[in-house]
Chain A
Amino acid sequence: MKSLIHRQRKPADAFAAVILWVMAMAVSFVFVWIVFSIVAGGLSSISREFLTKPPEFSGRSGGISTVLVSTAVILMICLGAAVPLGIATALFLSEFTGNDEWFGRLVRRSLDVLAGVPSIVFGLFGSVFFCRVLGMGYSLIAGGLTLACMVLPIFIRSAEAGLRAVPEEYRSTAAALGISRRAVIFRLILPAAVPGLISGLILSLGRAAAETAALLYTSGYVDRMPESVFDSGRSLTVHIYDLAMNVPGGNSHAYGSALVLVVLLLIINGAATWIGEHGLRRRLIRS
């Protein structure tokens, strides 16, 4: 406690300020450097053809249209599975369990564990469970469902927070009016929690779109246009990985793909931040 009352000499204070400014500038510099190299390297390969043509020669030339389609399909499957299950679970956790009920605690605890599982381990799990046991093989649906398992804890956590942010008075007021739980949930709580649910959804989307390791051994490498969800298809992230590591001369298109991916994630994360800050409260009152 001596430092609390002992007056520090000025030089230490100035020194700390200088160090903090230098560290901040160093981190900012590296950030700008990364962004600059991705943009500078990627811009030259971005064109309309790049986005609309399929890859040729393992991606060295051509475009990334099939990759974009596969990515979109994987993400849609991921959200299609994770969102309904996640909303239902979050509703159960926020509306039907007190904090002290053992079942709710068990579910929450196991979701905490799931949130800690490394993504490559989800890849291992998916390659056994979805690809082999359920017989899906390397396929978009196996990749999407693996990602769904991965984002489930993230989505449930933010959906539950959104539901809990709905004022308790709404629930007691509706109960005092003799309105059924079902009507309270569907007409009052869910609409009021829409901003929280959407920002959770976008957060999960961003996490899923950035993922590579979980997809390597579930959705596979095939860069042709997928004809069904049971075909293998490569996501944008796997495409970048493959071009950088396994395809000599693939760097320029890897840059281009990285730029597309970063811009995509910027839009996704920006939307999540925007919704988080502005909310969609007005929607509710008008409805």
Chain B
Amino acid sequence: MKFETYSSSRESCCDREACAPVLSASDLSLFYGRKAAFRGVNLDIHEGCITALVGPSGCGKSSFLQSLNRLTDLIPACRIEGTVTCCGKDIHEPATDLIALRRRVGLIFQKPSPLPFSIRRNLDFPLREHGFTDRGEREAKMESALRDVCLWDEVKERLDSPATSLSGGQQQRLCIARALALEPQVLLLDEPCSALDPISSGAVEDLIADLRNRFTVVVVTHNLAQARRIADDVAFFWVKENAGRLIEHGPAEAIFSDPENELTRAYIAGLRG
């Protein structure tokens, strides 16, 4: 099965009733060997929204994120139960085109991960591999992606210097631009600010907020204040019985003002975790 490439002619929508979920996990569990990273997670990701996954360390947020585009396949002895559907199609079906899936559902790591190339080649290489043979088209996509992350003016003079020569915040924005250039439908961000200094962190956070409505964003964060500032939906994870669990999820204002679950209430109040 081929996922058709996403077209950008779509209405901005953050209306949970009107839109079918883009990604939907049902009864999803993930095991590293015998140990469960998380169990029984049911969560819908709504189109055009920013969904924040919050919770303490080790509660399976990052593993959950990586299971959404099957990056967990890279980990030996990692086993998945349950289903994830992307636009109604099960991503664990044998016929799934992994390459198309990962292009459609992009992922940004916690640590900035530039490839050991020049800045230009970091964007050019994935584009070329995804079949953009026209050089001019690639250049245009590169420029617009770098403008999207407000990096263009900083790097346009030195596109051929190594990507590792950028600062941490610039590297992370480069990685986001690299993913955006592929025009994903969903962008998964795994604590994108936690390895950065406060100023770079602020820049990346603003960038994520700007992506609202243009992309569907799922962001893992430790930082409750950040989740409150940018998220439309919040999902709260907690460790119970040695495995991560989804305790509560819903619109951000509801979770932050009036959580249903005691644990959520305590966590948000800063009493636990």
**Any A–B CB pair closer than 8 Å:** yes
In this complex, what residue of B is CB-closest to A98?
B76
B16 contacts partner chain A, Cβ-Cβ < 8 Å: no
CA distance A173 to B100 in the complex (A): 15
CB-based nearest A residue for B97 = A178
A175 B129 Cβ-Cβ under 8 A:
no
Beta-carbon contacts under 8 Å, B85-134 to A:
98-104, 106-109, 111, 113, 115-118, 121, 125-126, 129-130
Asked if A5 is an interface residue, CB under 8 A from chain B, the answer is: no
Q: Which of B106, B117, B129, B162 interacts with A176 by CB under 8 Å? A: B106
State the Cβ distance, A144 to closest chain B Cβ, in Å.
35
Q: Are B115 and A178 in contact (CB under 8 A)?
A: no
Contacts of A100 in B (CB 8 A): 76-77
The smallest beta-carbon distance between B238 and chain A, in angstroms, is 27
Knowing A178-B98, A183-B129 are in contact, say whether A172-B115 is a contact too (CB < 8 A).
Answer: no
Within 8 A of B (CB), among A167-186: 169-180, 183
Q: Is A188 an interface residue, CB under 8 A from the partner? A: yes
Q: Are A172 and B109 in contact (CB under 8 A)?
A: yes
Q: A99 — which chain B residues lie within 8 A by C-beta?
A: 76
Q: A92-133, CB under 8 A of B: which get 1 and which 0?
A: 000000111000000000000000000000000000000000
Chain A positions 143-169 with a Cβ under 8 Å from a chain B Cβ: 169
In the assembled complex, A35 has its CB within 8 A of some CB on chain B? no
The answer to whether B126 and A177 touch across the interface, beta carbons within 8 angstroms, is yes
> Are A285 and B102 within 8 A (Cβ)?
no
Which residue among A99, A171, A173, A187 has the maximum number of chain B CB atoms within 10 Å of its CB? A173
How far does the alpha carbon of A114 sit from the alpha carbon of B127 in the complex, in Å? 44
Residue of B nearest to A174 (CB): B115
- B residues within 8 A CB of A173? 109, 113, 115, 175
B150 CB, nearest partner CB in chain A, Å = 21
A47 at interface, CB cutoff 8 A: no
Contact A177 B102 (CB under 8 A): yes
Within 8 Å of chain A (Cβ to Cβ): is B179?
A: yes
A284 at the B interface (CB under 8 A): yes
Q: Enumerate chain A residues within 8 angstroms of B117, measured Cβ to Cβ.
A: 284-285, 287
Beta-carbon contact of B116 and A192 below 8 Å: yes
B115: A residues at CB distance < 8 A: 170, 173-174, 188
Task: Say how far A285's CB is from chain B's closest CB, in angstroms.
Answer: 4
Q: How far is the CA of A152 from the CA of B74 in the complex (A)?
A: 29
What are the residues of chain A within 8 A of B103 when measuring CB–CB? 177-178
Q: Can you list 17 residue pairs at the A/B interface with Cβ under 8 Å? A: A100-B77, A169-B111, A170-B113, A170-B116, A171-B74, A173-B175, A174-B126, A175-B71, A176-B107, A177-B179, A178-B103, A180-B99, A180-B129, A187-B125, A188-B116, A192-B116, A281-B116
